[in-house]
Amino acid sequence: MRSWGNYPKVEHAAVIPLHWRHLGLPRIEGTMLPSGLARSYGDSCLNEGGTLLATAGLDRLIAFDRASGVLRCEAGMSLAQILQVAVPAGWFLPVVPGTSQVTVGGAIANDIHGKNHHAAGSFGEHVRRLELVRSDGTRRECSPDSETALFRATIGGLGLTGLVTWAELQLRAIASPAFEVETMRMENLEHFFALSEASAGFEYHVAWVDALARGGDAGRGVFIRANHSTVAEASQAPSDSHLAVPFDLPAATLNRHSVALFNAMYRARAPRHWREERVPYSRYLFPLDGVAHWNRMYGEPGFVQHQCVVPRADAPSRVRSILEAVAAAGDASFLSVLKVFGDREPAGLLSFARPGVTLALDLPMRGAQTLELLERLDTIVRDAGGAIYPAKDARMSPGTFRASFPRWGELEALRDPAFSSSFWRRVTP
Ligand X SMILES: Cc1cc2nc3c(=O)[nH]c(=O)nc-3n(C[C@H](O)[C@H](O)[C@H](O)COP(=O)(O)OP(=O)(O)OC[C@H]3O[C@@H](n4cnc5c(N)ncnc54)[C@H](O)[C@@H]3O)c2cc1C
Give the interface with ligand X as residue ranges (CB under 6 A). Answer: 4, 33-40, 44-45, 55, 75, 97-99, 102-103, 105-107, 109-110, 112-114, 158-159, 163-164, 288, 391
Q: How far is the CB of 240 from another protein (least distance, A)?
A: 10
Q: Which residues neighbour 411 within 8 Å (Cβ) at sequence distance 6 or greater?
A: 153, 157, 158, 160, 161, 349, 350, 405
Residue 26 near another protein by CB under 8 A: no
- Is 285 within 8 Å of 96 (Cβ atoms)? yes
Residue 61 touches which of another protein, ligand X, none (CB < 5 to 8 A by kind)? another protein
Cβ–Cβ contacts within 10 Å for residue 77, how many? 24
Residue 13 touching another protein (CB under 8 A): no
- Amino acid code (one letter) for 72: R
Q: Find the distance separating the first CA and the last CA of the chain, reported in whole Å.
A: 23
Task: Tell the smallest beta-carbon distance from residue 16 to another protein (Å).
Answer: 8
Q: Does 185 bind another protein (CB under 8 A)?
A: no
The single residue among 17, 30, 49, 330 that binds another protein, judged by CB under 8 A, is: 17
The residue within the footprint of another protein, chosen from 12, 21, 354, 395 (CB under 8 A), is: 21
- The partner in contact with residue 386, picked from ligand X, another protein, none with C-beta cut-offs of 5 to 8 angstroms by kind, is none
Task: Write the single-letter amino acid at 167.
Answer: A
Q: Which of 28, 61, 245, 291 binds another protein (CB under 8 A)?
A: 61
Stretch that binds another protein, among 55-63, 195-203, 245-253, 290-298 (CB under 8 A): 55-63
Residue 60 C-beta: closest distance to another protein, Å:
4
User: Candidates 58-66, 140-148, 212-220, 319-327 — which segment interacts with another protein by CB under 8 A?
Assistant: 58-66
CB of 33 to ligand X, least distance (A): 5
Nearer to another protein, 88 or 355 (CB): 88
Task: Indicate the residue among 6 and 188 with the shorter CB distance to ligand X.
Answer: 6
Which range in 62-70, 110-118, 226-234, 260-268 contacts another protein by CB under 8 A? 62-70
CA atoms within 13 A on the CB side of 208: 19
CB of 389 closer than 8 Å to CB of 427: no
Return the number of the residue (4 or 91) whose C-beta is nearest ligand X. 4
Q: Choosing among another protein, ligand X, none, which partner's interface includes residue 113 (Cβ < 5 to 8 Å by kind)?
A: ligand X
Does residue number 293 form part of the binding site for another protein (CB under 8 A)?
no
* Residue 60 found at the interface with another protein (CB under 8 A): yes
Binding site for another protein (CB under 8 A): 17, 19-22, 57, 60-64, 85, 88
